[in-house]
Amino acid sequence: MRDRDLTSQRRVATMPLLALLLALASPSASALQIEFDYTYDTRGFFTDLTTGAPRVDRRALLDLAAAHYSGFADTLSAIMPAEGDQWSVSFLHPSLGGPGVTLNNVAIEADTLRIYVGGSPSAPGVLGFAGTGANLQATGSAAFVNAVMTRGQLNTTGPDASDYATWGGYIWFNASNDWYFGADASGLSPGSPDFLTTATHEIGHILGFGEADSWLAQIDASTGLFIGVASVAAYGGGVPVDRYGSHWAEGTISVRDGLPQETMMDPSTPFGERQLPTALDYAGFADMGWQVSTVPEPGAALMMLVGLGLISRRVRRIGAIRSDL
């Protein structure tokens, strides 16, 4: 944002009228904020049920996962119900700890997504899943309904959608896994799925990956390849997707930190490996409507985790494959 502001000021000096018109045409975007809500963490995944204390190590890793999207920007309207306004959305209980959740008239700040998180034991084989819920409804002023349904974004639905918006979403994590809850990838072992990788992947689905109409609109009907401009540039051609169109195809390779790496948004990651966003992953998000700039290394969050003593090693085991939804 700072660089963008400097550029604007330079334009003002040379072409004030054009700069003013540009400013009017496209209000400058703000950094995306992701906030986690633990209200429905009722089965002890992020909360010590004996003491009621937060499990700060796991929550810090969730914030570290969100930091991989700190270079995203957009202009998302606040959802602030006034008198006569009402909205609701329903979703699965994030800890599978009761009936489904229906949110009624919660307030969400501008440029912010709220993600309700939890976890519970379930059959092995699945690491977690995420969604944005169902039965999204809003009544009241036109501006309020627009804020709920599209966050003020244009062209977010239908076969020609070009942008994406959501209020937020939910993530469930399967507590039956022998998760690696470390910030430092050197502590990974073959038997353990990496919590940071899965959390970052699931947040990606809430940001529309494999889900947004603006994502689906760019899957070519004849070839089945994803043909968004940024993704084609990053991959060198149309990108193969999985059979549901909800991920890159299994094993799709791109680049992270200058090195080849399997994409984070393919369907699975071998246990014991860390796969954070590659250039192609970020390109996919850009193609569905996010303004993606260089994402800084989340150094401050990493240092906090080091301070908490979360760098640890685990016993090696036979590798396995994770899958998630």
Least distance (Å) between residue 48 CB and Zn ion? 29
Rg over alpha carbons for the chain, rounded to the nearest Å, is 20
Least distance (Å) between residue 265 CB and Zn ion? 7
User: What residues from 295 to 324 belong to the interface with Zn ion (CB under 5 A)?
Assistant: 324
Cα–Cα distance for residue pair 258/242, rounded to 1 Å: 25
Nearer to Zn ion, 73 or 256 (CB): 256
Secondary element (H or E) of residue 147: helix 142-150
Nearer to Zn ion, 267 or 272 (CB): 267
Nearer to Zn ion, 57 or 250 (CB): 250
Secondary element (H or E) of residue 10: helix 2-14
Q: Are strands 30-31 and 101-104 parallel, antiparallel or unpaired?
A: unpaired
Nearer to Zn ion, 287 or 324 (CB): 324
Residues that bind Zn ion (rule: CB under 5 A) add up to a total of 1
Binding track over 169-208 against Zn ion, x by CB under 5 A:
----------------------------------------
Nearer to Zn ion, 73 or 199 (CB): 199
Q: Are strands 72-74 and 112-120 parallel, antiparallel or unpaired?
A: unpaired
Least distance (Å) between residue 86 CB and Zn ion? 32
Cα–Cα distance for residue pair 301/242, rounded to 1 Å: 33
Cα–Cα distance for residue pair 232/319, rounded to 1 Å: 32
Secondary structure (H, E, C), 263-314:
CCCCCCCECCCCCCCCHHHHHHHHHCCCEECCCCCCHHHHHHHHHCCCCCCC
Least distance (Å) between residue 254 CB and Zn ion? 16
Comparing every residue's Cβ against Zn ion, the nearest one is: 324
Cα–Cα distance for residue pair 259/313, rounded to 1 Å: 24
Secondary element (H or E) of residue 214: helix 213-216
Nearer to Zn ion, 180 or 209 (CB): 209
Least distance (Å) between residue 266 CB and Zn ion? 8
Length of the chain: 325
Least distance (Å) between residue 136 CB and Zn ion? 21
- In eight-state DSSP terms, residue 248 is B
Nearer to Zn ion, 125 or 296 (CB): 125
User: What residues from 49 to 68 belong to the interface with Zn ion (CB under 5 A)?
Assistant: none
User: Is residue 266 at the binding interface for Zn ion, with CB under 5 A as the rule?
Assistant: no
Least distance (Å) between residue 130 CB and Zn ion? 8
Cα–Cα distance for residue pair 253/54, rounded to 1 Å: 37
CA dihedral angle for residue 187, residue 251, residue 94, residue 244, rounded to 10 degrees:
180
Q: What are phi and psi of 205, to 5 degrees?
A: -65, -40
Binding track over 62-101 against Zn ion, x by CB under 5 A:
----------------------------------------
- For residues 112 and 308, is the Cβ–Cβ distance under 8 A? no
Nearer to Zn ion, 151 or 247 (CB): 247
Least distance (Å) between residue 324 CB and Zn ion? 5
Contact residues toward Zn ion (CB under 5 A) are 324
